[in-house]
Amino acid sequence: MNHSNPVQANHPKKTFDLFQFLYKYGTILTIFILILVFALSNPTFIQGNNIINILRSISIVTIIAVGITISLSVNGFDLSVGSVASLSNALVISMFVWFSQNTVVAIFSALVASLLVGALNSFIIVKLKVPDMLVTLAMMFIVQGIALTYTKGATISQNMVMTDGSFATGVISPFFEKIGQVPWIIVIMVVVVVLVHIFLTYTKHGRYMYVIGGNSEAARLSGIAVNKYKVIAYLLSALFASIGGIVLASRVMTAEINAGAPYLMDAVAAAFIGFSVLGAGKPNAFGTFIGAVLIGILQNGLVMMSVPYYAMDIVKGAVLAFALALTYYKQK
Protein backbone atom coordinates (compact mmCIF):
# COMPACT_ATOMS: atom_id res chain seq x y z
CA MET A 1 0.00 0.00 0.00
CA ASN A 2 1.46 3.34 -1.07
CA HIS A 3 1.39 6.02 1.62
CA SER A 4 3.28 8.70 -0.33
CA ASN A 5 1.56 12.03 -0.35
CA PRO A 6 1.08 13.43 -3.87
CA VAL A 7 1.13 16.99 -2.51
CA GLN A 8 4.71 16.54 -1.26
CA ALA A 9 5.98 15.32 -4.58
CA ASN A 10 4.67 18.48 -6.19
CA HIS A 11 6.59 21.05 -4.11
CA PRO A 12 7.65 24.24 -5.89
CA LYS A 13 11.28 24.64 -6.95
CA LYS A 14 13.39 26.69 -4.53
CA THR A 15 14.31 29.99 -6.10
CA PHE A 16 17.75 31.46 -5.50
CA ASP A 17 17.36 34.37 -3.12
CA LEU A 18 20.33 36.69 -3.63
CA PHE A 19 19.57 38.64 -0.47
CA GLN A 20 19.39 35.49 1.64
CA PHE A 21 22.72 34.38 0.15
CA LEU A 22 24.36 37.74 0.88
CA TYR A 23 22.98 37.70 4.41
CA LYS A 24 24.51 34.31 5.13
CA TYR A 25 27.77 34.54 3.24
CA GLY A 26 28.20 38.29 2.64
CA THR A 27 30.80 38.79 5.38
CA ILE A 28 32.89 35.82 4.30
CA LEU A 29 32.53 36.85 0.66
CA THR A 30 33.66 40.38 1.55
CA ILE A 31 36.73 38.96 3.32
CA PHE A 32 37.70 36.96 0.21
CA ILE A 33 37.17 39.96 -2.07
CA LEU A 34 39.28 42.17 0.22
CA ILE A 35 42.06 39.57 0.37
CA LEU A 36 42.02 39.37 -3.43
CA VAL A 37 42.10 43.17 -3.89
CA PHE A 38 44.83 43.73 -1.31
CA ALA A 39 46.92 40.77 -2.53
CA LEU A 40 46.77 42.06 -6.12
CA SER A 41 47.79 45.56 -5.05
CA ASN A 42 50.53 44.27 -2.75
CA PRO A 43 51.64 40.60 -2.91
CA THR A 44 53.22 40.76 0.57
CA PHE A 45 49.67 41.00 1.95
CA ILE A 46 49.14 37.23 1.79
CA GLN A 47 52.56 36.25 3.12
CA GLY A 48 52.56 34.15 6.27
CA ASN A 49 54.09 36.74 8.55
CA ASN A 50 51.52 39.35 7.51
CA ILE A 51 48.64 36.93 8.17
CA ILE A 52 50.09 36.29 11.65
CA ASN A 53 50.41 40.06 12.04
CA ILE A 54 46.69 40.48 11.23
CA LEU A 55 45.70 37.74 13.72
CA ARG A 56 47.88 39.36 16.37
CA SER A 57 46.39 42.79 15.69
CA ILE A 58 42.78 41.56 16.08
CA SER A 59 43.32 39.39 19.16
CA ILE A 60 42.62 42.10 21.74
CA VAL A 61 39.61 43.44 19.80
CA THR A 62 38.23 39.89 19.50
CA ILE A 63 38.56 39.14 23.23
CA ILE A 64 36.76 42.39 24.14
CA ALA A 65 34.15 41.85 21.38
CA VAL A 66 33.36 38.37 22.73
CA GLY A 67 32.39 40.06 26.01
CA ILE A 68 30.06 42.43 24.13
CA THR A 69 28.64 39.39 22.31
CA ILE A 70 27.67 37.81 25.64
CA SER A 71 25.89 41.00 26.77
CA LEU A 72 24.09 41.16 23.40
CA SER A 73 22.91 37.56 23.81
CA VAL A 74 20.61 38.63 26.68
CA ASN A 75 19.49 41.63 24.61
CA GLY A 76 21.78 43.91 26.60
CA PHE A 77 24.64 46.10 25.48
CA ASP A 78 27.85 46.87 27.36
CA LEU A 79 29.51 50.16 26.40
CA SER A 80 31.86 50.16 29.39
CA VAL A 81 34.21 47.47 28.01
CA GLY A 82 36.79 49.90 26.60
CA SER A 83 37.14 51.68 29.96
CA VAL A 84 37.31 48.37 31.84
CA ALA A 85 40.15 47.32 29.51
CA SER A 86 41.92 50.65 30.25
CA LEU A 87 41.51 50.14 34.01
CA SER A 88 42.80 46.55 33.87
CA ASN A 89 45.72 47.69 31.75
CA ALA A 90 46.64 50.39 34.32
CA LEU A 91 46.16 48.08 37.32
CA VAL A 92 48.19 45.20 35.99
CA ILE A 93 51.19 47.35 34.98
CA SER A 94 51.05 49.39 38.22
CA MET A 95 51.10 46.20 40.33
CA PHE A 96 54.42 45.29 38.70
CA VAL A 97 56.00 48.74 38.45
CA TRP A 98 54.72 50.53 41.57
CA PHE A 99 54.18 47.67 44.00
CA SER A 100 56.68 45.05 42.75
CA GLN A 101 54.01 42.32 42.82
CA ASN A 102 54.17 39.01 40.98
CA THR A 103 52.17 38.06 37.87
CA VAL A 104 49.40 36.25 39.79
CA VAL A 105 48.67 39.23 42.05
CA ALA A 106 48.85 41.67 39.12
CA ILE A 107 46.39 39.72 36.95
CA PHE A 108 44.12 38.86 39.89
CA SER A 109 43.76 42.51 40.95
CA ALA A 110 42.80 43.55 37.40
CA LEU A 111 40.20 40.76 37.13
CA VAL A 112 38.67 41.56 40.53
CA ALA A 113 38.36 45.26 39.67
CA SER A 114 36.60 44.44 36.40
CA LEU A 115 34.19 42.03 38.09
CA LEU A 116 33.25 44.83 40.51
CA VAL A 117 32.36 47.01 37.50
CA GLY A 118 30.34 44.14 36.00
CA ALA A 119 28.54 43.60 39.31
CA LEU A 120 27.71 47.30 39.58
CA ASN A 121 26.49 47.41 35.98
CA SER A 122 24.22 44.42 36.48
CA PHE A 123 22.91 45.69 39.83
CA ILE A 124 21.78 49.01 38.31
CA ILE A 125 20.33 47.27 35.23
CA VAL A 126 18.60 44.38 37.00
CA LYS A 127 17.52 45.96 40.29
CA LEU A 128 17.04 49.63 39.40
CA LYS A 129 15.72 48.80 35.90
CA VAL A 130 17.80 51.49 34.18
CA PRO A 131 18.30 50.71 30.44
CA ASP A 132 21.62 48.94 29.98
CA MET A 133 22.91 51.27 27.28
CA LEU A 134 22.54 54.28 29.60
CA VAL A 135 24.03 52.47 32.61
CA THR A 136 27.08 51.23 30.72
CA LEU A 137 27.54 54.62 29.04
CA ALA A 138 27.64 56.28 32.47
CA MET A 139 29.91 53.51 33.75
CA MET A 140 32.22 54.07 30.77
CA PHE A 141 32.90 57.63 31.97
CA ILE A 142 33.12 56.65 35.65
CA VAL A 143 35.63 53.84 35.06
CA GLN A 144 37.60 56.01 32.64
CA GLY A 145 37.77 58.65 35.39
CA ILE A 146 38.84 56.08 37.99
CA ALA A 147 41.61 54.83 35.70
CA LEU A 148 42.80 58.39 35.05
CA THR A 149 42.69 59.30 38.75
CA TYR A 150 44.56 56.12 39.66
CA THR A 151 47.35 56.82 37.17
CA LYS A 152 47.16 60.61 37.79
CA GLY A 153 46.88 60.98 34.04
CA ALA A 154 50.38 59.61 33.46
CA THR A 155 51.69 56.68 31.47
CA ILE A 156 52.89 53.89 33.76
CA SER A 157 56.15 52.28 32.65
CA GLN A 158 59.26 50.69 34.12
CA ASN A 159 61.75 53.14 35.68
CA MET A 160 59.18 55.95 35.57
CA VAL A 161 59.63 58.99 37.79
CA MET A 162 57.28 58.82 40.78
CA THR A 163 55.50 61.83 42.34
CA ASP A 164 58.19 62.10 45.04
CA GLY A 165 60.94 62.32 42.41
CA SER A 166 62.23 58.77 42.91
CA PHE A 167 62.23 56.14 40.19
CA ALA A 168 59.82 53.19 40.11
CA THR A 169 61.78 50.08 41.03
CA GLY A 170 59.36 47.32 40.04
CA VAL A 171 59.91 45.22 36.92
CA ILE A 172 57.36 43.50 34.72
CA SER A 173 57.89 39.73 34.88
CA PRO A 174 59.32 38.03 31.76
CA PHE A 175 56.50 35.47 31.99
CA PHE A 176 53.90 38.24 31.78
CA GLU A 177 55.70 39.71 28.78
CA LYS A 178 55.20 36.45 26.87
CA ILE A 179 51.38 36.64 27.05
CA GLY A 180 51.21 39.49 24.55
CA GLN A 181 53.62 37.90 22.07
CA VAL A 182 53.02 35.52 19.18
CA PRO A 183 51.89 32.75 19.42
CA TRP A 184 50.36 33.18 22.91
CA ILE A 185 48.30 36.26 22.12
CA ILE A 186 46.68 34.38 19.21
CA VAL A 187 46.25 31.20 21.28
CA ILE A 188 44.44 33.15 24.02
CA MET A 189 42.10 34.69 21.42
CA VAL A 190 41.29 31.31 19.84
CA VAL A 191 40.67 29.68 23.25
CA VAL A 192 38.31 32.54 24.25
CA VAL A 193 36.35 32.30 20.99
CA VAL A 194 36.05 28.50 21.15
CA LEU A 195 35.03 28.44 24.84
CA VAL A 196 32.38 31.13 24.47
CA HIS A 197 31.09 29.58 21.23
CA ILE A 198 30.65 26.24 23.01
CA PHE A 199 29.11 27.97 26.05
CA LEU A 200 26.52 29.95 24.06
CA THR A 201 25.71 27.27 21.49
CA TYR A 202 25.90 23.96 23.31
CA THR A 203 25.22 24.54 27.01
CA LYS A 204 21.89 24.93 28.76
CA HIS A 205 23.01 28.29 30.16
CA GLY A 206 23.96 29.67 26.77
CA ARG A 207 20.61 28.62 25.31
CA TYR A 208 18.82 30.28 28.22
CA MET A 209 20.68 33.51 27.43
CA TYR A 210 19.47 33.38 23.84
CA VAL A 211 15.90 32.75 25.01
CA ILE A 212 16.14 35.79 27.31
CA GLY A 213 17.56 37.82 24.42
CA GLY A 214 14.67 36.77 22.20
CA ASN A 215 11.88 37.43 24.71
CA SER A 216 12.72 37.97 28.37
CA GLU A 217 9.06 37.86 29.48
CA ALA A 218 8.52 34.47 27.81
CA ALA A 219 11.78 33.27 29.36
CA ARG A 220 10.61 34.38 32.81
CA LEU A 221 7.26 32.64 32.41
CA SER A 222 9.00 29.42 31.38
CA GLY A 223 10.93 29.46 34.66
CA ILE A 224 14.31 30.82 33.54
CA ALA A 225 16.02 33.01 36.16
CA VAL A 226 16.22 36.02 33.84
CA ASN A 227 17.94 38.36 36.30
CA LYS A 228 20.55 35.79 37.27
CA TYR A 229 21.56 35.29 33.64
CA LYS A 230 21.68 39.03 33.00
CA VAL A 231 24.05 39.40 35.94
CA ILE A 232 26.21 36.55 34.59
CA ALA A 233 26.25 38.21 31.14
CA TYR A 234 27.55 41.53 32.50
CA LEU A 235 30.10 39.83 34.75
CA LEU A 236 31.43 37.86 31.79
CA SER A 237 31.42 40.96 29.58
CA ALA A 238 33.57 42.82 32.13
CA LEU A 239 35.79 39.78 32.61
CA PHE A 240 36.63 39.50 28.91
CA ALA A 241 37.17 43.27 28.68
CA SER A 242 39.63 42.86 31.54
CA ILE A 243 41.43 39.97 29.82
CA GLY A 244 41.67 42.19 26.73
CA GLY A 245 43.23 44.94 28.84
CA ILE A 246 45.68 42.51 30.46
CA VAL A 247 46.79 41.11 27.09
CA LEU A 248 47.16 44.69 25.83
CA ALA A 249 49.34 45.52 28.86
CA SER A 250 51.54 42.53 28.11
CA ARG A 251 51.83 43.49 24.45
CA VAL A 252 52.85 47.13 24.93
CA MET A 253 54.46 46.72 28.39
CA THR A 254 53.19 50.15 29.51
CA ALA A 255 49.84 51.52 30.63
CA GLU A 256 48.91 54.42 28.36
CA ILE A 257 46.09 56.80 29.29
CA ASN A 258 42.74 55.36 28.11
CA ALA A 259 44.54 52.59 26.22
CA GLY A 260 41.36 50.50 25.98
CA ALA A 261 39.07 53.22 24.62
CA PRO A 262 39.94 52.80 20.90
CA TYR A 263 38.95 49.12 21.10
CA LEU A 264 35.30 49.86 21.88
CA MET A 265 34.27 50.91 18.36
CA ASP A 266 36.03 47.97 16.68
CA ALA A 267 34.68 45.48 19.22
CA VAL A 268 31.10 46.71 18.78
CA ALA A 269 31.52 46.53 14.99
CA ALA A 270 32.90 42.98 15.17
CA ALA A 271 30.05 41.80 17.41
CA PHE A 272 27.35 43.27 15.16
CA ILE A 273 28.96 42.10 11.92
CA GLY A 274 28.98 38.64 13.52
CA PHE A 275 25.17 38.53 13.70
CA SER A 276 24.80 37.67 10.02
CA VAL A 277 27.78 35.31 9.59
CA LEU A 278 26.52 32.01 8.16
CA GLY A 279 22.97 33.28 8.76
CA ALA A 280 23.16 32.95 12.56
CA GLY A 281 20.83 35.92 13.06
CA LYS A 282 22.00 36.33 16.66
CA PRO A 283 25.13 37.30 18.56
CA ASN A 284 27.66 34.46 18.41
CA ALA A 285 31.36 34.11 19.19
CA PHE A 286 32.37 32.59 15.86
CA GLY A 287 30.63 35.37 13.94
CA THR A 288 32.28 37.97 16.17
CA PHE A 289 35.67 36.47 15.34
CA ILE A 290 34.89 36.64 11.60
CA GLY A 291 33.78 40.26 12.10
CA ALA A 292 37.09 41.05 13.79
CA VAL A 293 38.98 39.32 10.96
CA LEU A 294 37.13 41.52 8.45
CA ILE A 295 38.08 44.69 10.35
CA GLY A 296 41.68 43.49 10.78
CA ILE A 297 42.07 42.74 7.07
CA LEU A 298 40.59 46.14 6.20
CA GLN A 299 42.96 48.00 8.51
CA ASN A 300 46.02 46.05 7.47
CA GLY A 301 45.25 46.29 3.75
CA LEU A 302 44.49 50.00 3.88
CA VAL A 303 47.78 50.68 5.69
CA MET A 304 49.62 48.72 2.98
CA MET A 305 47.83 50.78 0.33
CA SER A 306 49.06 53.91 2.16
CA VAL A 307 45.56 55.13 2.98
CA PRO A 308 46.06 57.89 5.58
CA TYR A 309 45.14 56.80 9.11
CA TYR A 310 42.59 59.62 9.49
CA ALA A 311 40.50 58.19 6.64
CA MET A 312 40.35 54.69 8.20
CA ASP A 313 37.31 55.40 10.34
CA ILE A 314 35.28 56.33 7.26
CA VAL A 315 35.86 52.88 5.82
CA LYS A 316 35.26 51.12 9.15
CA GLY A 317 32.07 53.08 9.72
CA ALA A 318 30.81 52.25 6.23
CA VAL A 319 31.45 48.53 6.79
CA LEU A 320 29.62 48.64 10.14
CA ALA A 321 26.66 50.50 8.59
CA PHE A 322 26.49 47.89 5.83
CA ALA A 323 26.57 45.01 8.34
CA LEU A 324 23.86 46.61 10.47
CA ALA A 325 21.72 47.29 7.41
CA LEU A 326 21.95 43.61 6.47
CA THR A 327 21.15 42.43 10.01
CA TYR A 328 18.20 44.70 10.65
CA TYR A 329 16.74 44.44 7.17
CA LYS A 330 16.75 40.66 7.62
CA GLN A 331 15.09 40.88 11.06
CA LYS A 332 12.33 43.00 9.58
Domain map (residue ranges) of the chain: 50-331
Crossing angle, helix 132-151 and helix 81-97, to 10 degrees?
20
**Residues 63, 82, 209, 212, Cα dihedral to 10°:** -160
For residue 86, pLDDT over 90 is answered with yes
What pLDDT does 1 receive?
A: 55
pTM of the model: 0.93
> Residue 2: pLDDT band by 50, 70, 90 thresholds?
low
Task: Name the phi and psi angles at 255, rounded to 5.
Answer: -115, 100
pLDDT digits (tens, 9 = 90+) for 309-332: 888 889 878 877 877 777 677 766
CATH number of 50-331: 1.10.3470
| Cβ atoms of residues 200 and 284 within 8 Å | yes
> Residue 12: pLDDT band by 50, 70, 90 thresholds?
low
